[in-house]
Amino acid sequence: MYNSVKDEKRLLRYTYLFCLVCFFNLFITKDPFDKGALVLCGIICFLMAYSHFILRKFYPDGDKYVLIFSCILSSIGLVMLYRIKTDLAVKQIIWFIAGIAIFILIVVLLPELKKYAKYKYVYMVICLIFMAMASIHGTAKYGAKNWVYIGGMGFQPSEFGKIFFVAYLAAALKDYKNFKQLIEPAVVVMVSLGFMVLQNDLGSALLFFGISITMLYIATSKLKYILVCLVLFIIGGFLSYKLFGHVRLRFMIWNNPWPYKANQSYQLVQSMYSIAWGGLFGTGLGLGYPNFVPVRESDFIFSAICEEMGVLMGFAIMILYFLLFYRCMRAAVYAEENFSRLLAVGYSAMIASQVLVIVGGVTGMIPLTGITLPLISSGGSSMIIIFVALGIIQKISEGGK
C-alpha cells in the first residue's frame, strides 16, 4: 500500500508539472501576459490534489488510479480548450468541479450496489424515454437530431440514456441461464439503436452496440451470440445504408473524402490536414491553426491536440485511455457479484467505445460520427455522465459497500 501511495503521488506530481508547463506557455504567449492561465492551472492542480487526498484518507481500499487518469485526461482537455477559447475552458472547469464532486458523492453516499439490481424495469423505462426524447422534441445540430433544449439549456438525452442502458443490461443479464432471457434485452437494444439511427446519431448507435456485445459476452461467455449480433448489425447497417441518405453520405465521405473537401467532407479533410501539419512533435502550444478545424472544441479536439502537441501526444492520450479502461475492468474482475461486475464492464466499454469511435472518425479510419472525446471535449453533459460512470466503478473497486 505504501508503494502504491508513492506511485500515485509521483504520477500526480508529473501531472502538476504538465499543467504548469502548458499553462505557463499560454501565459507568456499572450501580450499582455495572461494571468488567467496560471489561475486555471492552480485550480486544476488543487482539485486533483484535494480529491485524491479525500479518497485516499477516507476510502483507502479502492483503485485511486481511476480518479487520477480521469483527472489527467481532463487537464489535457482544459489546456486545449483554454488555448482555443478561454470562455470554453472557464465553463469546462465548472463542469469538471461538478464532475469531481459527483464522483466523490457517489463513493460516499451510494449504499451497497447489489440492492439496485431489482430495479431492472425502472432502468429500462428511463433509458427508452431518454432514447426517444430527441426523436420527439429534438433539435438538429451538425447533422444529427440529438439535442434537446429546455429553458435555453441544451443537452443530449442519449448521454443520460447510456447510464440507464448499462444499468438495465446489467440487471437483465446478471442471472443469465438460457437463451430466452436474452429476448427482452435484445428488443431493448434494437429499439435504442433504432432511435439513434432515426436521429442521424450514428456515433451513439455504434457506442450502444459496442456496450451491448461486450456485456453480452461477459454475461454469457458465448462467442456464437456475438457472431449473431455482428451479422445482425451488418444487416441493419446495410438496410440503413439503403434507406437513409445521411448514412450513404457518411460512407461516401469515408470512402473518398477528397472530391468533396469543399463541402460535405470539409470537416474530415481539415482534421487530417491538422494532424499531418503537427507531425510527431506538433507546432507548439499556441503556434498552430486549430481554428481552421470545424467543431474543434468537441468532436475534433483530438485533431487540434495532435496539431499543436504532436501525434506523440495523441498516442499518449490513447495510452491514458487504455490505462483508464484497464483500471475500470480491473474493478470488474474483483467485483463480488454479477450486477456490479456487469456495471463495471458496461461503463468501461462505454468509455472505450466512445474513444475508438471518435478517434477513428477524425482520423478517417471509420466513417465520421459526431460524438465527444470523453473528459477532453467541451461539454457539460458528457463530463458529468463520464464522472457518474467512473464514480460507480470506483464504488465497485471499494467493494461496493
Q: Mean pLDDT, the chain, as a whole number? A: 87
pLDDT surpasses 90 at 80: yes
Length of the chain: 401
**pLDDT tens digits, residue range 95-148?**
999 999 999 999 888 877 888 888 999 999 999 998 888 777 767 666 666 777
pLDDT of residue 293: 85
pLDDT at 180: 86
The three cell numbers of residue 292 are 481552421
> What whole-number distance in Å separates Cα of residue 26 and Cα of residue 34?
7
pLDDT above 90 for 237: no
Q: What integer pLDDT is reported at residue 29 of this predicted model?
A: 82
Tell the burial category of 115 from Cβ atoms under 10 Å away from its Cβ (0-12, 13-18, 19+): exposed
- Residues 220-234 have a mean pLDDT of 88
| Alpha-helical regions (H) of 85-182 | 86-109, 120-137, 157-173
Rounded Cα distance, 384 and 334, in Å = 25
Given a cut of 70, whether residue 2 has pLDDT beyond it is: no
Give mean pLDDT, residues 233-257: 80
pLDDT at 75 over 60: yes
Rg (alpha carbons) of the chain, rounded to whole number? 21
127 vs 334, more confident = 127
DSSP for residue 144: E
310 φ/ψ sector (left φ>0, alpha ψ -120 to 50, else beta): left
5 confidence band (pLDDT: 50, 70, 90): confident
Local structure of 31: helix, strand or coil: coil
For range 267-273, the mean pLDDT: 87
Residue 259 has pLDDT above 70, yes or no: yes
Pairwise CA distance, residues 2 & 348, whole Å: 27
Q: Is the model's pLDDT at 360 over the cut of 80?
A: yes
Cβ neighbour number for residue 319 with a 10 Å cutoff: 10
Give CA–CA dist 331/279, Å, rounded. Answer: 37
pLDDT (0 to 100) of residue 144: 65
Whole-number Cα distances in Å, 208 to 24, 53, 211, 213? 40, 35, 5, 9
Residue 357 has pLDDT above 60, yes or no: yes
| H or E stretch covering 340 | helix 338-362
Query: What does the pLDDT read at residue 74?
Result: 94
Helix then strand then coil, % of the chain, to nearest 5: 75, 5, 20
Longest dimension (CA), the chain: 68
33: Cβ–Cβ under 8 A, 6 or more apart, which residues? 27
Q: Does residue 159 carry a pLDDT above 70?
A: yes
What average pLDDT does range 392-401 have in this prediction? 80
Tell me what pLDDT residue 138 has. Answer: 66
Question: pLDDT band at residue 236, thresholds of 50, 70 and 90?
Answer: confident
> Does 3 have pLDDT greater than 90?
no
Strands 153-155 and 139-141: unpaired
pLDDT score of 1 more than 60: no
Compute the average pLDDT of residues 306-315: 93
Are 195 and 133 in contact, with CB atoms under 8 Å apart? no
pTM equals: 0.91
8 Å CB contact between 253 and 268? yes
Q: Average pLDDT in the 332-351 region?
A: 90
- Please check the confidence at residue 231 and state whether its pLDDT lies above 60: yes
CA distances from 340 to 26, 160, 171 (A): 43, 19, 9
Better-predicted residue by pLDDT, 291 or 2: 291
CB contact at 8 A, 382 and 376: no
Q: Is 385 buried (19+), middle (13-18) or exposed (0-12) by CB count in 10 A? A: buried
Answer yes or no: is pLDDT of 200 > 80.
Answer: no
Residue 39 CB partners (closer than 8 Å, separation 6+): none
Buried b (16+ CB within 10 A) or exposed e, 207-233: bbbbbbbbbbbbbbeeeebeeebeeeb
Q: For residue 289, give every residue at least 6 positions away whose Cβ sits within 8 Å of its Cβ, in sequence order, or none.
A: 274, 277, 307
Q: Which amino acid is at 336?
A: E
How would you label 24-35 residue by residue, b for 16+ Cβ within 10 Å and e otherwise? ebbbeeeeeebe
